[in-house]
């Protein structure tokens, strides 16, 4: 009987942690290179945005795909509600200021985009591999309610373990 109580308690704790705390995720594809690689394993902090803070530009987040919420993506938040996003020759500007996260030239696209104002309760997200990313430029802004959590840790491969 004692082992049954222990198992039940562990199941309840695990459910609470996965529901409100943390989630394991895997990167599929190249859209976040060079920051994240295909098949990297991540820990996503789900609690931070529910209980403590709002998503911020520069955060790497896991979010539901606005076109099909059964899928989830990992992208970087570029701008929040009220911000104006413009891309000129592959350089991203938010409110006419160059976005502070530097992307190596080989990962930048050479397109122009915008300007576009981010709606209330929405975010503009992009992959770091701008030439190979399906993101807000293609399918629009992401509602705040679709942000699952902040990517906090790349734990696999162990040689590339990184806190974000």
Residues annotated catalytic, as ranges: 31, 75
124 in Cβ contact with 143 (< 8 Å): no
Query: How far apart are the C-alpha atoms of 134 and 155, rounded to whole Å?
Result: 25
Which residue in the block uniquely carries the two structure tokens 């409110």?
95
Report residue 6: phi and psi, to 5°.
Answer: -65, -45
> What is the DSSP annotation of 13-24?
HHHHIIIIIEEE
């Amino acid at each position: 009987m004692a082992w049954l109580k222990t198992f039940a308690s562990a199941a309840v704790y695990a459910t609470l942690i996965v529901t409100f705390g943390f989630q394991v995720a895997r990167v599929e594809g190249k859209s976040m290179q060079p920051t994240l690689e295909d098949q990297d394993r991540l820990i996503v902090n789900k609690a931070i945005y529910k209980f403590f803070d709002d998503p911020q530009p520069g955060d790497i987040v896991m979010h539901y795909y606005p076109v099909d919420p059964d899928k989830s993506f990992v992208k970087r938040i570029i701008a929040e509600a009220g911000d104006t996003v413009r891309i000129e020759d592959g350089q991203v500007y938010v409110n006419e200021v160059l976005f502070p996260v530097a992307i190596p030239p080989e990962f930048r696209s050479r397109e122009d985009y915008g300007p576009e104002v981010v709606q209330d309760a929405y975010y503009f997200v992009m992959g770091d591999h701008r030439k190979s990313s399906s993101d807000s430029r293609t399918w629009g802004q992401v509602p705040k309610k679709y942000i699952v959590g902040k990517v906090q840790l790349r734990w696999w491969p162990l040689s590339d373990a990184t806190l974000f």
